[in-house]
């Protein structure tokens, strides 16, 4: 069936939800974001996708031109050229899709492995990399000049499955129609990040919405890097990164993370820190770390941890990687939304 035929096959009530679409770049500039929750009981109005440990990416195909953009609008074609090639090879010439770029290690998506590709911007160097990537596509925003964001999610996913050819490195993101404590426990046993619960009849909205919920297996989030400590003993680069999050216009101190680095990462991050060094602390709270160095709060780190302490510090934090798809100003303390 042709793309036009796919849209014409929709029920009349859904066809009336279609509208002339904004440009692909405009649609891709405002992705829908999920809310962290501790809710575990759901009815049949929800579907459940695997929470992938990668970077968000929105793809735009406009005639002969295909591009891949981060959730902040940064071009990613030089980093993942094989994905752009697959998008450009599609028979459909007008679409915007949303998804996640991942790298696998031992059958599991691993953010630290993806890090080895994230710093590459030269297409030829990226193609020569030993780190293979996969683009899991989970939503369709525009098709054949039509804005699909008002359609129910189930309908958008059905159109997505039929509009694109999913050959490596493109993959359709499957979903389950049932989710709860047992399904989350199974996901965690498989080594997944968790699940994303999505309201099956929900539209795609350009903001963070309770129609998409994050059910995590372990705690973790992004933090802004505000400084570092000197290395000790045989350690190179730095000892620990000083972390914070934004609250009421202030960068609040959340503690330090000194584990999770290999030697190459220590050297690379130290270079980025030196480029941003400043004399004044960016934190609104006192930081009692001897010999601390301060940086402009421009770098974002993904950090796993066990819990927050009573005084608002991270317990047992571990560095997972740098993120270049998150704006520092958007980093806040994530708290689960009550059921």
DSSP 106-141: TTEE-HHHHHHHHT---HHHHHT-S---EEEEEEEE
Name 59's bridge partners: 68, 97
Confidence of residue 338 (pLDDT cuts 50, 70, 90): low
Non-local (6+) Cβ contacts of 298 within 8 A are: 276, 328
> Lowest-pLDDT range, 62-71, 109-118, 243-252, 289-298?
109-118
Per-residue confidence (pLDDT) for residue 106, from 0 to 100? 81
* DSSP-based three-state secondary structure for 164: coil
* DSSP-based three-state secondary structure for 189: helix
**pTM (predicted TM-score):** 0.83
pLDDT digits (tens, 9 = 90+) for 104-151: 988 888 888 898 899 899 999 999 999 999 999 999 999 999 999 999
DSSP 277-321: EESS---SS----TT-EEEEEEEEEEEE-SEE-TTS-EES-EEEE
Q: Is 51 considered catalytic here?
A: yes
Catalytic-labelled residue, pool 51, 157, 198, 256: 51
DSSP 19-60: EE---HHHHHTS--EEEEB------TTEEEEE--SSEEEEEE
**Mean pLDDT, rounded, of the chain:** 93
Range 220-330 classified under CATH 2.160.20.10: no
- Class of CATH domain 3-32+52-174: alpha beta
* DSSP-based three-state secondary structure for 151: coil
pLDDT digits (tens, 9 = 90+) for 17-62: 999 999 999 999 999 999 999 888 899 999 999 999 899 999 999 9
Non-local (6+) Cβ contacts of 199 within 8 A are: 45, 46, 153, 211, 212
Per-residue confidence (pLDDT) for residue 4, from 0 to 100? 77
Closest CA to 214 of 199, 195, 229: 195
Burial class (CB in 10 A: 0-12, 13-18, 19+), 318: middle
pLDDT digits (tens, 9 = 90+) for 223-234: 999 999 999 888
Inter-residue contact 254 to 223 (CB < 8 Å): yes
209 pLDDT more than 80 = yes
Token output for 19? 């509208």
**How many C-beta atoms lie closer than 10 Å to residue 135's C-beta?**
25
What are the structural domain ranges in the chain? 3-32+52-174, 220-330
CA atoms within 13 A on the CB side of 211: 15
Closest CA to 220 of 108, 102, 83, 317: 317
* DSSP-based three-state secondary structure for 177: coil
């Amino acid at each position: 069936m042709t793309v036009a035929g796919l849209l014409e096959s929709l029920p009349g009530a859904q066809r009336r939800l279609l509208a002339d679409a904004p440009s692909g770049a405009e649609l891709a500039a405002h992705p829908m974001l999920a809310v962290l929750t501790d809710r575990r009981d759901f009815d049949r109005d929800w579907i459940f996708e695997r929470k992938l440990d990668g970077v968000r990416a929105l793809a735009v195909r406009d005639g002969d031109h295909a591009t891949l953009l981060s959730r902040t609008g940064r071009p990613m074609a030089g980093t993942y050229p094989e994905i752009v090639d697959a998008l450009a090879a599609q028979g459909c010439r007008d679409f915007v899709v949303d998804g996640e770029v991942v790298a696998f290690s031992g059958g599991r998506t691993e953010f630290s492995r993806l890090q080895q590709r994230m710093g590459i911007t030269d297409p030829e160097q990226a193609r020569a990399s030993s780190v293979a990537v996969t683009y899991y596509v989970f939503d369709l925003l525009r098709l054949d000049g039509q804005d699909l964001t008002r359609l129910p999610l189930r309908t958008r996913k059905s159109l997505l499955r039929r509009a694109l050819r999913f050959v490596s490195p493109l993959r359709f993101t499957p979903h389950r129609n049932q989710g709860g404590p047992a399904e989350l426990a199974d996901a965690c046993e498989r080594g997944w990040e968790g699940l994303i619960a999505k309201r099956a009849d929900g539209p795609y909205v350009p903001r963070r919405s309770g129609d998409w919920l994050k059910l995590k297996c372990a705690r973790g989030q992004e933090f802004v890097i505000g400084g570092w400590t000197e290395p000790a003993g045989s350690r190179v680069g730095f000892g620990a990164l000083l972390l914070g999050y934004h609250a009421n216009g202030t960068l609040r101190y959340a503690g330090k993370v000194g584990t999770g680095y290999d030697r190459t990462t220590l050297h690379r991050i130290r270079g980025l820190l030196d480029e941003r060094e400043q004399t004044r602390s960016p934190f609104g709270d006192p930081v009692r770390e001897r010999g601390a160095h301060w940086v402009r709060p421009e770098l974002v780190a993904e950090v796993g941890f066990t819990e927050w302490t009573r005084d608002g510090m991270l317990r047992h934090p571990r560095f997972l990687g740098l993120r270049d798809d998150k704006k520092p100003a958007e980093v806040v303390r994530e708290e689960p939304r009550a059921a």
